[in-house]
Structure 1
Amino acid sequence: MLACVLFFTGANSIALAQKPTTSTTDTPATEPRVIPSTEIVKAASEISDRLKIFRDDVKPQAFVADIDTQVVALSKEIEELREKTDVWLASELTLSALEEVQRDWDRYAETLTSWAAQLDTRVSQLQEQLAEIADERPKWRNTQAAAAETELSQALVHVINNVLVELGDTQKLIESRIESVTQVQQKVSEKEKGTAESLETIRSAVEEARSGLFVRNQPPIWKVFHTAPEALTHAEEFGESWEWVVSAIDKFFKTFETRIISHIIIFVCLLVLLIVLRFRSAKWELDATSRQTVDHVFHNPVATSFLIFLVLSRPLYPDAPTVIFELTALLTVPILALLVPRLLPRVFLKSAYGLFAVVVFFPILDLLAVSGLLTRLFMFTLSGGVLAILAIWSRTNGPTINITHPKGRAFALFAARLGAVFMLISFAANIVGMVLLADFLFSGTLVTAYGAILIFVSYRILGVLAIVSLNSNFAQTFASIRKNRYRLKSSTIGFLRLAAVLIWLAMAFRWFGILDIVTSTAVKWFSTQWTVGSMTISLGSIAAFIIALWLSVLVSRFVRTILKEDVLPKARLARGMPESISLIVNYAIITIGFIVALAAAGIELSQFAIVFGAFGVGIGFGLQTIVNNFISGLILIFERPIQVGDTIEMGNGGLVGVVRQIGIRASTIRTFAGAEVIVPNGDLVAGQVTNWTLSDANRRITVEIGVAYGNNPQQIIDLLLDVANQRDDLLEDPKPNVIFKGFGESSLDFELRAWTASDNWFSLKSELTIQVHDSIVGAGIVIPFPQRDVYLRSMDPAVGESKTPKDEPRDPA
């Protein structure tokens, strides 16, 4: 703003120089703005309030002081790590060890970058305040000069002077605060620069190690015994290793004291929860597979809780030293050894225990500072043993034949064969002296296998927790969960399985150093664009569109289920209204999801002008029926001539059934024979439909009966009414009545009429008819049947003789 004021002032000065001096009174913009005397008090109050806010904000910020304190401690850690890095780079570290060192430097670099960003933001805020003060001071100085010429009152002059003094004092405070923050900023910047240099050095070493994987860096194994003997351990390195570990642990506990306490509280709460669930789950009704899995997980709640406690370490302490994560990984080994007998298929147990032993063995060698030769020999021996085991697993008739699941058997066979190939290459590389390649493949294969076991056990535990959550008393209070429990279980287990596979793949790719390559390649593929007319598309936009649309469908189903099962049944709504609301919400969410999907794909609606035009032409020709049914569906939803649960009859008794669903294109009607008929919505709107339950569910039942001539009609009426009045499932209003229909050919005809609100009116009519029959017969009244008397006016005599009964044979006695 100050620059703008100076710009306009300079521009107006140039303009004045080109005009006569007499015109200066007509160009008041050449001088800084003068505050009118009537506005001085108000302006002074406003600027005073604004400066008070500046003075409150300019006070020392706690985070600046924290950064200033922490940067000193961090400087010591960085110097120690730099010295260690120089020593490590001078020795022949493996690729995995170099990557661990790089992760430590990355952690420091991220911390310093975060601090620098916070300090930059703080300096920018103070500089904005300083610029605002610089913009205000010329205006008040000019007002002060004008006040001296116009002889303002001493009170206004005093106000102006106070404002200028306050502006100056606040400016000095802000400048002082900027200077102190800048000093901290310089410290962070220096450390950030040094860290960047060290990080670049270690990155170069990592790249060099990767490029040197296929280079022989040590003598062949048959020659190492002819060289000078090497000490089995290095006492100096042993002491330094332990000092480094102890220092890292001590720093970890001091830095994350609050988080560690919270972490322990989580562990205790989780342990108590698992113990409680262990006893409660025994009362739940579960299928055999779920029951077995739940019992296995809750068999050892302490180990299960501690495993979750250790797995949560990385997300809870992302800034912790790498050695802490290594120790955490080692602690998971005995925990997994306790859990795998019940959570891992028996066919994998022996191999899993052997893997655990190897995983623990090599970190112990590092801590003991065992010589490189001895480590190489251990790796050579173990790689040969692991290769022999994987060779057995790679056979078609090997241990994988005991895996019952076909996909699991195929995956285990593939993994065993791939691991055998890696171990064979590692074994051969160790022999010829390519120790870096041998260590890379050996460690990578073991870590990937161990990670697979850890992720599988975690997946089983999370699956059990999902089952427990769905069967809890709280979850069972929701009808949407109670009625869809098995489907929710299947979906949750499927999601966890997919997440476990993706996490394992990411871990394997990262260990073998191809995660960045895979990620960058995928980004490149999904970012590639193609131009079709005026529209630009890419794989990323297509994927974003599909995912957004898929998520909208999932959300619509979820919301519709919640509304249908838990929300709308508790609301006092007219019959059929809950289904209409649920359907409208479903369409609204999908429509919004479609628009969001277009936005996620970077597609503007204007680009669909041609598509919409073609769609209009399609409606005019081939999509008339579909659009008609869609519009008819909207009519059914809003007008509600037919509702879900109504009993309808289409045509002249051609289709009779109950409406089960009203869809966007067609509706489903379930006949009384059990068939489900799909009827287009257009037929329901345009055709003749008899709705037996539109206004209410009342239905008339009619029982017709005929009695023999000679009976008293009033007696019959009384009997029928007595039968109807004895039933509680018939309505009293309108009350039952009997009609004497007239004189039939063989009987006196009566009709009993009664009303009911029961849906099971077919069975009710049958029961009522039986009672009418029993009452009529019990009263001694005859129910006639049609009779005909036939009179023969003439007949052939031969026919008559043939019909005359012959004499019966006599009894011989």
Structure 2
Amino acid sequence: MKYCRLSCFFFLLFYTGVLSAQTLEQAKPQSTIEKDVSEPEKQAPEEPVVKKTAGIPVMEISDRAKETHITLNKFKANLEPDTDILTIKEQLPRFLYTLRKSQSDWFYKSLNSLNTRKLQNLRQEWDTNLEKLNDWEKTLSGRARKLGEDNSRLEEMSELWKITSESTIAGEAPEVILNRVSSTLNDINEIRTTYLATIKKILTFQDQLSEQQLEITKLIGLISEAETQSRRQLFAHENLPLWKAFQAEANIPEFGDQLRKCATNALQMNKVYFQANIERLSLHIIIFVTLLGLLVYFNERNKRNLLFDETDETLKESAFFLSYPFSTALLVSIFFSIWIYTNSPSSVNELLILLVVIPVLRLVRGIFSLELRKLFYFLTGLFVLIILEGIVGNYILLQRLLLFLVTITAIPMFAWWLRPGSSIYQIKSRLSYKSVLSFSIFMMILLIFSLATNLIGIFPIGHVVISGMMTIIYLSFAIYVIAKALDVLVALLIRRHSIQAFPIVQTYARQIERITIFFIHLVICFVWIRMVLRTFGIYKDVWDWFSKIVDNKLALGTIEISLGAVFGFIIILFISVILSRVIRVILEAEIFSRLKLPRGVPGAISTLTRYTIIGFGFFLAISALGVNLGKFGLLAGAMGVGLGFGLRNIIENFVSGLIIIFERPIEIGDTIMVGDVFGNVEKIGIRSSTVHTFDGSEVIVPNANLVTNQVTNWTMSDRQRRLQLPVKVAFGNDPHKVLELLLKVAREHSGVLDLPEPQAFFNGFGDNFLDFTVYYWVSDNILQTKSEVALGVHDTIKNAGIDTPRPQGDFNLRIIDSLEKLQKKDKDKIIP
């Protein structure tokens, strides 16, 4: 057995070797053949075979020519530039001229002499310019790519028709066919020429953009370096003391010329900017003229007492602002210019700030007291000096001189303000008194610090502190005036006669006004915060820090959630809820009130619309959170099984709410009785409904109880209810007269319906009374009507002399009681 196994093993080994050898022998000739085939290719390579495109058959030329002309018409339409391309062609030369003009200005030659805020404004301005150029480049690249694809197709078509022309000439085709081929080929070549010229222009524009982008990128780098250097030198003692700087300055008499030159440069920059942004300037002018026209119109109507229906303090302020229509319109339009002139140059911002001074000085008369107005006028003068100090640019000595004037003027004013016996000590509110006193002392310290640093030559830190504080103080006053003006405009638009005609305004006027003013004040607060950060030159740093925190992602398994996504989730849900409420109010107040819809349909539409908007907003919020909706659907399906068992009652109430909405067995306003609860339905929600009982309480009833339990709806088909009043009179009264009196009382009551008519019946005889019942129908005020009818029956029966029955037991008891009293009196007489 052992030898048999060894023999089998060697036999298999030998057989495997034979098979391998045969395989190698079979593979060898194949490789040899491939080698023999490849070697001749290396020795004598053949030229590539070009497949020549065949021409169009003669019989198909007419149809193909028609198709070609249709295609050419589409290509002609593609040559028409869209709005973005037209805008680029129109604005690009002027924009490039503006950029080159700005790059040659004086302050780019002395960046290291500018303060941090000026450098930040410049960097922001050039970042905006670079972003605009990048957007234009993307638009031009897309346009060039599309035209290039069309040109390739035109080239193929031209080659095809050229071959067709050669084949038709060689084949001696009819002259008509030859002319058709020739005209088609000429049309193709003509459009190709136009395409090539258009592509050439676009490539030229792209080259200009690329060149300018490189220059701007270099300039932004220089500005960033100068900004970093400026931050490091805030406390640097690099300037001479002020008195020595005057002695070292050789051109002191030319300060006026320098100031004039700076103002001229600023005006020139503004001119160039507005010429390049004429659309924004036009929009600003339109807003101003529109506001001015509205305010003048409102002022004329207010003089004739045709504007408002009521008088209060807000409307008195409205009348004051209406009396200055030009100033109010200018101030509000400048506030809106924040969103019109986005990322504008610092010179434009300074011009707008100076324009704010004019209307604010006129409007503070009706807002601040005399003492505050004096302070405001003084701050206005200092603020103008601060603006001039920012305009003078790189003239350090002139900047220091203007800052010296500001501090040397403000210190005595604040000292006078803090003197004993001044009006600051007469402020009644303790909190206001401490706030004003602390602020004044703080400003006094800053002014002295700035004056000292300026005198000894540490100019940057003093300049940043004082210019920033003065700017913030003045602009805070201005923003307060703007807020008052916007509040007045809101009151004007909501409380005037013509708007009061709308049902939604009649019902929700106060709420609309309050919510609108709240959001306006919220926007103004954000604008003020942004202004403060930009004034001190830390806006970009704070924004970058905030963006870094918001964008920081937290990994939860395969899901990454950031703080920004959470904020987006909350904001979208909040907006969805607010939007659903607004739409519900509009539907109920403006639309359903004008339409005749079946009973219950408006409530169903309103509820479904509300929850549809909220549901759609929820899915948007989930998407903003970064959760894949597909995975969320699977997760929701898996959780639905567990929730179905764990939250069975809530799911049951939810489904019952949907049944109530669609089937409408009860509606808002119905009078129902469910269990011990009896009242009017106030609200039908998706989970529960609210019933306002006649006791004045509000009962929350789960929707499942309204669907599964017995519910009595007194007003489902109609709101009419039949009431009955049992009446009993004593024997001996005329039943006919009683019936007549009962019907008279029911018919004369205003709450009883005429149809169906009231009815009275004589039911028969009781133990000691005649039994009557009066039936009548009512629609509203059921309990009150029932009580009044009962009182009317009582008074009528009593006045008619009809006796009411008395129980027999009570009558006999009185007789016995009387007999006992008589017997007692007789006994008293007998006793001596």
Q: Per the shorter chain, which TM-score range?
A: 0.7 to 0.9
Instruction: Tell me if structure 2 keeps the 8 A contact 1:703–1:769.
Output: yes
Of 590, 596, 616, the match for 2:641: 616
Instruction: Tell me if structure 1 keeps the 8 A contact 2:79–2:195.
Output: yes
Of 659, 669, 688, the match for 2:710: 688
Trace 1:504-653 onto structure 2 (pairs within 5 A): 504-608=528-632, 609-610=634-635, 612-621=637-646, 623-651=647-675
Q: Evaluate the alpha carbon distance shift between residue 637 and residue 515 of structure 1 in structure 2; reply closer, same or farther with a 3 A threshold.
A: same
Trace 1:213-292 onto structure 2 (pairs within 5 A): 213-221=234-242, 224=245, 231-234=252-255, 237-238=258-259, 240-245=261-266, 247-248=268-269, 251=272, 263-264=284-285, 266-278=287-299, 280=301, 284-285=308-309, 288-292=312-316
> Which residue of 1 is the match for residue 786 of structure 2?
765
Q: Does 1:351 align with 2:375?
A: yes
Give 1:561 shift. 0.8
Which stretch of structure 1 is more off in the superposition, 684-693 or 119-128?
A: 119-128
Of 431, 454, 459, the match for 1:430: 454
> Which residue of 2 is the match for residue 168 of structure 1?
189
Within 1, Cα distance between the matches of 2:189 and 2:497?
68
Q: Does 1:783 align with 2:804?
A: yes
Instruction: Tell me if structure 2 keeps the 8 A contact 1:569–1:578.
Output: no
Q: Does 1:668 align with 2:693?
A: no
Q: Evaluate the alpha carbon distance shift between residue 602 and residue 152 of structure 1 in structure 2; reply closer, same or farther with a 3 A threshold.
A: farther
Give 1:582 shift. 0.9
Amino acid at match of 1:547: I
Amino acid at match of 1:745: D
Give unpaired runs (5+ residues) of structure 1.
Answer: 1-16, 19-27
Which stretch of structure 1 is more off in the superposition, 472-481 or 682-691?
A: 472-481
Within 2, Cα distance between the matches of 1:69 and 1:563?
46
Residue by residue over 1:240-272, the C-alpha shift from the partner in whole angstroms, topping out at 9 and shown as x without a partner, is: 335435544665676667876765554344233
Q: Report SS of the residue matched to 1:484.
A: helix
Which stretch of structure 1 is more off in the superposition, 639-648 or 781-790?
A: 781-790
Q: Report SS of the residue matched to 1:741.
A: strand
Within 2, Cα distance between the matches of 1:500 and 1:405?
27
Q: Does 1:331 align with 2:352?
A: no
Amino acid at match of 1:663: G
Trace 1:369-518 onto structure 2 (pairs within 5 A): 372-373=396-397, 375-380=399-404, 382-383=406-407, 386=410, 399=424, 402=427, 423=447, 426-518=450-542
Of 110, 114, 118, the match for 1:93: 114
Instruction: Tell me if structure 1 keeps the 8 A contact 2:673–2:713.
Output: yes
> Which residue of 2 is the match for residue 734 of structure 1?
756
Q: Evaluate the alpha carbon distance shift between residue 83 and residue 717 of structure 1 in structure 2; reply closer, same or farther with a 3 A threshold.
A: closer
Which stretch of structure 1 is more off in the superposition, 354-363 or 742-751?
A: 354-363
Instruction: Tell me if structure 1 keeps the 8 A contact 2:392–2:398.
Output: no
Within 1, Cα distance between the matches of 2:299 and 2:497?
15
Instruction: Tell me if structure 2 keeps the 8 A contact 1:526–1:540.
Output: yes
Instruction: Tell me if structure 2 keeps the 8 A contact 1:213–1:436.
Output: yes
Which stretch of structure 1 is more off in the superposition, 142-151 or 625-634?
A: 142-151
Q: Aligned-residue CA RMSD in angstroms?
A: 4.3
Residue by residue over 1:595-645, the C-alpha shift from the partner in whole angstroms, topping out at 9 and shown as x without a partner, is: 111122221234334455345323313x22222222222222122222111
Give 1:552 shift. 0.5
Instruction: Tell me if structure 2 keeps the 8 A contact 1:552–1:589.
Output: yes
Within 2, Cα distance between the matches of 1:432 and 1:482?
66
Q: Evaluate the alpha carbon distance shift between residue 151 and residue 356 of structure 1 in structure 2; reply closer, same or farther with a 3 A threshold.
A: same
Residue by residue over 1:561-595, the C-alpha shift from the partner in whole angstroms, topping out at 9 and shown as x without a partner, is: 11112211222122222112211111111111111
Instruction: Tell me if structure 1 keeps the 8 A contact 2:116–2:537.
Output: no
Within 1, Cα distance between the matches of 2:83 and 2:522?
44
Which stretch of structure 1 is more off in the superposition, 784-793 or 512-521?
A: 784-793
Give 1:726 shift. 4.0
Give 1:309 shift. 4.1
Give 1:505 shift. 1.0
Instruction: Tell me if structure 1 keeps the 8 A contact 2:389–2:398.
Output: no
Give 1:750 shift. 0.8
> Which residue of 2 is the match for residue 137 of structure 1?
158
Within 2, Cα distance between the matches of 1:393 and 1:794?
99
Q: Evaluate the alpha carbon distance shift between residue 300 and residue 564 of structure 1 in structure 2; reply closer, same or farther with a 3 A threshold.
A: same
Within 2, Cα distance between the matches of 1:538 and 1:143?
64
Trace 1:712-731 onto structure 2 (pairs within 5 A): 712-727=734-749, 729-731=751-753
Instruction: Tell me if structure 2 keeps the 8 A contact 1:230–1:373.
Output: no
Q: Evaluate the alpha carbon distance shift between residue 190 and residue 101 of structure 1 in structure 2; reply closer, same or farther with a 3 A threshold.
A: same
Amino acid at match of 1:616: V
Which stretch of structure 1 is more off in the superposition, 235-244 or 369-378?
A: 369-378
Residue by residue over 1:667-702, the C-alpha shift from the partner in whole angstroms, topping out at 9 and shown as x without a partner, is: 111111211122222222222221111111111122
Q: Evaluate the alpha carbon distance shift between residue 192 and residue 465 of structure 1 in structure 2; reply closer, same or farther with a 3 A threshold.
A: same
Q: Report SS of the residue matched to 1:735.
A: coil
Residue by residue over 1:203-232, the C-alpha shift from the partner in whole angstroms, topping out at 9 and shown as x without a partner, is: 433332233223222134575577577615
Residue by residue over 1:292-326, the C-alpha shift from the partner in whole angstroms, topping out at 9 and shown as x without a partner, is: 43234234222212323444555545597643442
Give 1:748 shift. 0.8
Within 2, Cα distance between the matches of 1:309 and 1:47?
55
Give 1:658 shift. 1.0
Residue by residue over 1:78-115, the C-alpha shift from the partner in whole angstroms, topping out at 9 and shown as x without a partner, is: 55544433675088333344445556655665665565
Within 1, Cα distance between the matches of 2:370 and 2:547?
41
Give 1:153 shift. 5.2
Amino acid at match of 1:448: I
Within 2, Cα distance between the matches of 1:640 and 1:660?
14
Q: Report SS of the residue matched to 1:704.
A: strand
> Which residue of 2 is the match for residue 47 of structure 1?
68
Within 1, Cα distance between the matches of 2:823 and 2:522?
96
> Which residue of 2 is the match for residue 23 of structure 1?
none
Q: Evaluate the alpha carbon distance shift between residue 779 and residue 68 of structure 1 in structure 2; reply closer, same or farther with a 3 A threshold.
A: closer
Amino acid at match of 2:781: N
Instruction: Tell me if structure 1 keeps the 8 A contact 2:327–2:358.
Output: no
Give 1:749 shift. 1.0
Which stretch of structure 1 is more off in the superposition, 439-448 or 111-120?
A: 111-120
Instruction: Tell me if structure 1 keeps the 8 A contact 2:415–2:444.
Output: yes
Within 1, Cα distance between the matches of 2:327 and 2:137?
42
Amino acid at match of 1:605: L
Give 1:239 shift. 5.2
Q: Evaluate the alpha carbon distance shift between residue 258 and residue 754 of structure 1 in structure 2; reply closer, same or farther with a 3 A threshold.
A: closer
Within 1, Cα distance between the matches of 2:338 and 2:673?
65
Instruction: Tell me if structure 1 keeps the 8 A contact 2:116–2:227.
Output: yes
Q: Report SS of the residue matched to 1:734.
A: coil
Within 1, Cα distance between the matches of 2:782 and 2:355?
70
Instruction: Tell me if structure 2 keeps the 8 A contact 1:731–1:756.
Output: yes
Instruction: Tell me if structure 1 keeps the 8 A contact 2:604–2:662.
Output: yes
Amino acid at match of 1:740: F
Q: Evaluate the alpha carbon distance shift between residue 165 and residue 699 of structure 1 in structure 2; reply closer, same or farther with a 3 A threshold.
A: same
Give 1:276 shift. 3.0
Within 1, Cα distance between the matches of 2:439 and 2:149?
61
